[in-house]
Amino acid sequence: MSDILALAPRFGSNSGQSLTRRDGVAKVTGTATFAADNHPDGLLYAVYVPATIARGTVTHLDVAAAKAHPGVVEVITPENRPPLAGDPDSKPFMFAFRFEALQNNTVRYANQPIALVLAETFEAATEGARLLNPLYDAQQPRMGLDGDAPFTPESGGLGLPGTTVHGDIDAGHAASAQDIDVTYETPEQYHNAMETHAVVAQWNGDHVTLDIPSQAIVMQRGAFGYYFGIPPENVTIRSPYLGGGFGSKAIINGPQILAILAARMTGRPVKLMLSRDQMFGPSGHRGATRQRLRIGIDTDHRMTVLDHNSLATTSTFDTFVESAANASQGLYAAGALRSAHQGVRIDAGTPGPVRAPGEAPGSAALECAMDEMAYKAGIDPLEFRLKNYAETEPGTGKPYSSKALRDCYAQGAARFGWAGRPLAPRQMTDENGMLVGWGMGTALFAAPMFAAQARAVLRPDGTGLVETAASDMGQGAWTALAQIAADSLGLPMDRIEFRSGTSDLPDAGIAGGSAHTATAGGALHAAGTDAIRRLAELATGDPDSPLYGAGNAGVIARDGRLHARDDDTRSESFADIITRAGGAEVEGKGSASRTAEASAAHAMYSHGAVFAEVKVDPDLFQIRVTRLVGAFAAGRIINPKLTESQLMGGMIWGISFALHEEARFDQRTGRIMNADLAGYHIPVNADVSGLEVITVHEDDPHVNPLGIKGVGEIGITGTVGAIGNAIWHATGTRVRHFPIRIPDLLTGA
């Protein structure tokens, strides 16, 4: 189908343009193929049976009843499950989490798989799963933040420090003229991408093809190979589109492994798509946290100490402790700084990275505590933050690679109209008598890089081909990465072909950590530059070229031609150069990662400031976010339109965190009581109005050659605190847990 919004030819810079998504037409016509849309011949449907207890063993499954159901082909239980080459309870590589693939009868949390039913139709598989009627030997589950004795983990999140201390904490406390000591709680949250986890697996001998949404295509190719005992090149992953990921689709889970195993066992292609309630179990979540923050300030309102301790839930069989306290590293210039984590093992699935892991709950608590401290000190919360503005990274003293946070504060505050905000709460009402409150929060997210490779080819017809196995989960990789690649080759967008989303391409690294554009984009840029360098060698070394003798450094690529840098009349098209050189394609290779020296030299973060207005009904205590202004500085912006969408999406996740999301566990059974989209609330369209994003100009010469930071996660940070603070400002009630709901304000009234 032709693209009705055909791209205007752009010469020079494709980056920086608000191009519409290159996959847009496919997505609005229903032709974009997501994993479960595939339907190979001979397909079997798999449905997994979820445990309905949280701790114990399965003692009986009525396999005969399930098998007797018309259409049911096979039932897999621990009794007949074929062996795996890799142990699901091992941790053979980074990002490997222990999972349940019917290795035994043990149940370690509700909703883990305890059997898999295969049938000719989805309906028969679903009914077969129901007929298994499991019996259990159940034990009392350990639930909640007080479910067991806390322990001190070696690390927070995935390999972050478990405890970080800068300066003398006791001296910091002793030096304070005023202080606060507050505790905030955040609940378990589940990713709930709209596309549930899905896989279509087809074996051909000892080669398997997987249609599966993946946030780390090449890495997962190796991981699947490991579990099935085949070399990585025998695994083909096709993941052109992900229906959202948010961290959950970078990690392999048990149901996926079982479906692939079932395909090998039956010799037929197998499709498995998790039901919505099954998304609350084997594919990770954000653990609950209880965070204690102690802040001390001197008489000049400068922080003498910022002491952030976090307790988070993890599972009984693996360790991922939400690194919430680390949100206090890197932001405010406190004299002494501590971030310390503890974990508690409960009978739930293992938590994992969820959009803004650590930072989302950590920032929520920190930004509310900052607001409490400012109010106690009697100064404006924005002024308090400016008083404690860090010119170098607190604790380490490292210079920032760039930090336009002052501009974020200024531009956000101006757009919002922050000036003149009364310090005291419950001072403002609107024309309908609603209580009005204003709050703010600082947004911060690290700007890491992973490692990626790419390949760029210039063809004899003057067009380009660029390749890297990137993941587009909605952030816009198909578009933004192509913009970078086109620039690197000096070609307009309509003259490059961009191949991505499959495992036979160079490794694009992980789509996570807000690092994908910087990492995969960096590799594409390097590959394109390498191809142009080789092309320039051909031209400048060829006596028949008008560029002969211009020297490698003396030519630039623009609109499909090489030009002499000092004489624009000397130029030649890519096609002519390649054709005269014999017509062989010119290939460039590139990679990107950050060196240890670069990491040591600078502290690298995206920054932002979020301002929120809420209105609260004085009688019914309904809460509405009526305005939300976010100003963010994230280095070079490749596509402003997509960036704005991503930042807004993050800010709405902030609304969700502040007011909606919470998985509620039944403390007696360990089951989640709201494991569906009716009970697990996320914002709907009517919850979102008055949203504004400002992207603040920022040049960063250090973060990477393209000057790109990331925008995928930062929108949540700052926003949650801003909303919590606005609710306090409207009502005078300080709620110290999330989500904040009507009953919290009723009891506070």
Partner 1 sequence: MSYTISLTVNGDRRDVTFEDARVTLLDLLRERLALPGTKKGCDRGQCGACTVLVDGRRINSCLTLAVTLDGADVTTIEGLARGDVLHPVQASFVEHDGFQCGYCTPGQIMSAVGLIAEGDVGTDPERIREGMSGNLCRCAAYHGITEAVLDAARRMTDDKTRKSA
Binding residue for partner 1, selected from 112, 196, 309, 350, defined by CB under 8 A? 196
Do the beta carbons of residue 436 and residue 742 sit within 8 Å? no
Residue with tokens 């507050």: 182
**347 near partner 1 (CB under 8 A):** no
Residue 278: CB minimum distance to partner 1, A? 11
Name the segment binding partner 1 (CB under 8 A); options: 186-194, 366-374, 396-404, 516-524.
186-194
Nearer to ligand FES, 64 or 677 (CB): 677
Buried/exposed 372-407: b ≥16 CB within 10 Å, e otherwise: bbbbebebbbbebbebbebeebbbeebebbbbbbeb
**192 near partner 1 (CB under 8 A):** yes
Residue 648 touches which member of partner 1, ligand FES, none, C-beta under 5-8 Å by kind:
partner 1
User: Angle at the Cα of 184 (from 633 to 354), degrees rounded to 5?
Assistant: 55
Convert residues 225-244 into a mask of x (bound to partner 1 by CB under 8 A) and - (unbound).
----------------xxxx
Residue 362: CB minimum distance to partner 1, A? 21
Binding residue for partner 1, selected from 16, 24, 705, 707, defined by CB under 8 A? 24
Residue with tokens 């896989």: 199
Name the segment binding partner 1 (CB under 8 A); options: 28-36, 103-111, 360-368, 730-738.
28-36
User: Angle at the Cα of 369 (from 363 to 374), degrees rounded to 5?
Assistant: 125
Tell me the CA distances in angstroms from 674 to 146, 156, 664, one per residue in order: 21, 28, 6
**744 near partner 1 (CB under 8 A):** no
- Interface residues toward ligand FES, by CB under 6 A: 194, 244, 474
Nearer to ligand FES, 472 or 662 (CB): 472
Tell me the CA distances in angstroms from 745 to 616, 701, 734, 736, one per residue in order: 9, 47, 9, 11
Residue 242 touches which member of ligand FES, partner 1, none, C-beta under 5-8 Å by kind:
partner 1
Nearer to ligand FES, 147 or 240 (CB): 240
- Non-local (6+) Cβ contacts of 27 within 8 A are 21, 241
CA dihedral 401, 16, 642, 442 (to 10 degrees): 30
Residue 66: CB minimum distance to partner 1, A? 16
Q: What amino acid positions are annotated as catalytic residues? A: 713
Residue 194: CB minimum distance to ligand FES, A? 4
Binding residue for partner 1, selected from 85, 135, 171, 677, defined by CB under 8 A? 677
**6 near partner 1 (CB under 8 A):** no
Task: Tell me how far apart the alpha carbons of residues 380 and 370 are, in angstroms, rounded to a whole number.
Answer: 11
Strand partners, 437: 614
Query: Is the alpha carbon torsion for 397, 403, 407, 411 positive or negative?
Result: negative
**467 near partner 1 (CB under 8 A):** no
Residue 2: CB minimum distance to partner 1, A? 5
Nearer to ligand FES, 245 or 269 (CB): 245
Nearer to ligand FES, 64 or 194 (CB): 194
**16 near partner 1 (CB under 8 A):** no
Residue 682 touches which member of ligand FES, partner 1, none, C-beta under 5-8 Å by kind:
partner 1
Residue 204 touches which member of partner 1, ligand FES, none, C-beta under 5-8 Å by kind:
none
Nearer to partner 1, 240 or 330 (CB): 240
Residue 1 touches which member of ligand FES, partner 1, none, C-beta under 5-8 Å by kind:
partner 1
Using CB positions, name the residue nearest to ligand FES: 194
Residue 571 touches which member of ligand FES, partner 1, none, C-beta under 5-8 Å by kind:
none
Task: Tell me how far apart the alpha carbons of residues 245 and 249 are, in angstroms, rounded to a whole number.
Answer: 5
**34 near partner 1 (CB under 8 A):** yes
Residue 5 touches which member of ligand FES, partner 1, none, C-beta under 5-8 Å by kind:
partner 1
Name the segment binding partner 1 (CB under 8 A); options: 319-327, 336-344, 687-695, 703-711.
687-695
Name the segment binding partner 1 (CB under 8 A); options: 58-66, 401-409, 615-623, 685-693.
685-693
Convert residues 70-99 into a mask of x (bound to partner 1 by CB under 8 A) and - (unbound).
-x----------------------------
Three-state DSSP class for residue 166: strand
Task: Tell me how far apart the alpha carbons of residues 339 and 358 are, in angstroms, rounded to a whole number.
Answer: 12
**286 near partner 1 (CB under 8 A):** no
Do the beta carbons of residue 355 and residue 713 sit within 8 Å? yes
**32 near partner 1 (CB under 8 A):** yes
**Residue 649, H or E segment:** helix 640-659
Task: Tell me how far apart the alpha carbons of residues 518 and 171 are, in angstroms, rounded to a whole number.
Answer: 41
- Binding to partner 1 in span 574-633, by CB under 8 A: none
Which of these, 313, 323, 293, 330, lies nearest to 169 by C-alpha position? Answer: 293
What is the layout of strands, in order, in the sheet containing 567-573? Answer: 555-558, 561-564, 567-573
Preceding omega of 739 cis (within 30 degrees of 0): yes
Nearer to partner 1, 37 or 179 (CB): 37
Strand partners, 609: 442, 631
**691 near partner 1 (CB under 8 A):** yes
Binding residue for partner 1, selected from 361, 474, 588, 721, defined by CB under 8 A? 474
Do the beta carbons of residue 315 and residue 109 sit within 8 Å? yes
Half-sphere exposure of 59 (CA within 13 A, CB side): 8
- Non-local (6+) Cβ contacts of 425 within 8 A are 437, 728, 729, 730, 731, 732
Task: Tell me how far apart the alpha carbons of residues 103 and 113 are, in angstroms, rounded to a whole number.
Answer: 10
Q: What is the DSSP string of 45-65?
A: EEEEEEPSSSSEEEEE--HHH
Three-state DSSP class for residue 509: coil
Binding residue for partner 1, selected from 75, 124, 491, 625, defined by CB under 8 A? 124
Nearer to ligand FES, 130 or 276 (CB): 276
3-state helix vs strand vs coil in the chain, percent to 5? 30, 25, 45
Nearer to partner 1, 33 or 599 (CB): 33
Residue 474: CB minimum distance to ligand FES, A? 5
Residue 646: CB minimum distance to ligand FES, A? 11
Task: Tell me how far apart the alpha carbons of residues 710 and 606 are, in angstroms, rounded to a whole number.
Answer: 7
Nearer to ligand FES, 23 or 371 (CB): 23
Task: Tell me how far apart the alpha carbons of residues 84 and 68 are, in angstroms, rounded to a whole number.
Answer: 28
Which of these, 643, 493, 640, 502, lies nearest to 3 by C-alpha position? Answer: 493
**28 near partner 1 (CB under 8 A):** yes
Nearer to ligand FES, 506 or 512 (CB): 512
Residue 275: CB minimum distance to ligand FES, A? 10
State the residues that interact with partner 1 by CB under 8 A.
1-2, 4-5, 20-21, 23-34, 36-37, 39, 71, 121-124, 126-127, 192-196, 241-244, 246, 273, 275-276, 472-476, 641-642, 644-646, 648-649, 652-653, 656, 676-678, 682-689, 691
